[in-house]
Amino acid sequence: MNTAKDEDDFWYSSETRSFCFESEVDQLRSDKLWTGILNASSSESGLQSTADFQTTKPLLSIISDRTLSRILDADNKPEKAHPKAEIKHPELAVVQPDITLRQILLGQSYSLERYKSLASKTALLDAAILNGDGNAILIIILFLTKTLKRSLVQRLLTERPDAVNVYIHYLFIRLHSSEITDILTMLGHSSTAAMKNLHIIIKNTKDPNRLMQKLQNCYKALFTMLPDCKETTFLESYIKLLEWQMAIKQKKNDEELPLNSSVLESLRYACKHHCNTPKDFVTMSPTVLSRDHDISPRLYQKVALQVKAACGGWDDIDRLLLTKGLLGNTKLQTQLYTEDILKVLYKYNAPHAVLEKYLKFIDNLEKRLELAKKLSCHTIVIDIFVQQGDRAILMDYKAKLQPQSEGYFYAESALRLPHIKWKS
């Protein structure tokens, strides 16, 4: 009975027991091991007191020493990443875009390597655009170009005009004309792409022959498809101008007109050296140049007048501006104002006879008198006073002239004219 009662007490007791297949030596060693585990557990958890742990049975009564050693070794090893968790929750491994953007703006160290998915990269770009900082936007775009396919980058940019503007400016500085063309053409801005390419070519090509070749290629590839674009006409004219200048260079090898000079500089050169060119050089004449580049007659006459006046070519100026009427009288045939012609002539010290010739074409008597006084054309002034019959004013004017001068004698002669009816 006692035996049966002892067995019942064993099985129904709340005290936990287990079989131990270790030797007595192992049992002693386990007691020492338990002491170490107990001390470590007490210092780490703080949830149970040492006394509470001491009421339990030794750990090695449940598991073997070898198994426990493996568990402890595993706990002491550094934690490994859990790739499944990362795949399931990629946002846990990605720095928030606003934090990364703040680091960029403050000049702090930052890393974009953790932005691996297209969604995270898009969010980062949108955060930079929302902030409006061009440098940050460019940094993100360059990161995208290195980590995404070109087609994906272009698709992202087409939906974000602000990013396009920043990136196009960057490409323009780096002279990446082909990529500029691809992006802008995809956005439907073919004319802008053509102009960007043209600007890059003109600004960065110094050799005239190379420049001519690039311009012709640019025209064929981009501008022939844009007949309504006003820059197409400009490029056609520009190519013609370079061809004209290169022809001048081959004929005369003249350093006075550098290649790639402007139309006005070319016109000045032509007016100075090729106004009376022979027939075999007719393409070099200023009239042909003006026709090819739509230079207005007024602008042509203005440039030619300045060039001829600077050279003292008064006869050439007469041929340029004067013509014969039906009755054989001389007429002024120009779109220039007579006052402007006189200013140019006076600036380059034209003789008084030349100034007086053109003063006579001013119909308004008062205006002619005013200009004649400013230009010191005394003959014209005296003639007007005689025409007005104002003897007193003529005498006052004579008193202001230098005695024994040509104007002084002319005034005296006018005062003695017998057929003039003076007012006083």
Query: What pLDDT sits at residue 282?
Result: 61
The stretch 2-7 carries a mean pLDDT of 51
Beta strands in 68-174 (DSSP E): none
157 vs 19, residue with greater confidence: 157
Angle between helices 190-204 and 161-173 (to 10 degrees): 20
Does residue 46 have a pLDDT over 90?
Answer: no
The stretch 28-53 carries a mean pLDDT of 41
Q: Is 351 in contact with 314 (CB distance < 8 Å)?
A: yes
Query: What pLDDT sits at residue 226?
Result: 86
Distances (CA, A) of 219 to 69, 195, 214: 81, 10, 8
Express as a percent the part of the chain with pLDDT over 70. Answer: 76
Average pLDDT, the chain: 79
CB half-sphere exposure, 330, CA atoms < 13 A: 9
The stretch 13-29 carries a mean pLDDT of 43
Query: What pLDDT sits at residue 65?
Result: 63
Mean pLDDT check: name the lowest of 105-114, 220-229, 323-332.
323-332
Query: What pLDDT sits at residue 55?
Result: 46
How do strand 330-332 and strand 322-324 relate by DSSP bridges? antiparallel
21 vs 288, residue with greater confidence: 288
Tokens 């902030």 belong to 131
How far apart CA 69 and CA 111 sit, in angstroms, is: 41
Q: Work out whether the CA dihedral 47, 51, 55, 60 comes out positive or negative.
A: positive
Query: Residue 366 contacts by C-beta under 8 Å, 6 or more apart in sequence?
Result: none
Q: Is 137 in contact with 162 (CB distance < 8 Å)?
A: yes
Q: Is 422 in contact with 389 (CB distance < 8 Å)?
A: yes
Query: What pLDDT sits at residue 43?
Result: 40
Does residue 356 have a pLDDT over 60?
Answer: yes
Please write the tens of the pLDDT for every residue from 253-285: 777 888 888 999 999 999 988 877 655 556 788
The residues pairing with 322 across neighbouring beta strands, listed in sequence order, are 332
Predicted confidence band at 64 (pLDDT cuts at 50, 70, 90)?
low
Query: What pLDDT sits at residue 11?
Result: 42
How far apart CA 322 and CA 343 sit, in angstroms, is: 17
User: Dihedral through CA 86, CA 90, CA 92, CA 97, nearest 10?
Assistant: 150
Query: Residue 408 contacts by C-beta under 8 Å, 6 or more apart in sequence?
Result: 398, 401, 402
The stretch 229-239 carries a mean pLDDT of 89
How far apart CA 271 and CA 380 sit, in angstroms, is: 31
CB atoms within 10 A of CB 369: 20
Mean pLDDT check: name the lowest of 2-6, 77-81, 231-235, 357-361.
77-81
User: Dihedral through CA 205, CA 208, CA 212, CA 217, nearest 10?
Assistant: -30
235 vs 38, residue with greater confidence: 235
Query: Residue 153 contacts by C-beta under 8 Å, 6 or more apart in sequence?
Result: 141, 144, 145
The per-type count for the chain, helices as H runs and strands as E runs, is 24, 2
36 vs 178, residue with greater confidence: 178
Query: What pLDDT sits at residue 278?
Result: 59
Query: What pLDDT sits at residue 247?
Result: 85
Q: Is 348 in contact with 316 (CB distance < 8 Å)?
A: no
Of 134, 135, 136, 138, the residue nearest 98 (C-alpha): 136
Tokens 């140019």 belong to 344
Query: What pLDDT sits at residue 417?
Result: 86
Report, in angstroms and rounded to the nearest whole number, the Rg of the chain calculated over CA atoms: 50
The model's pTM: 0.61
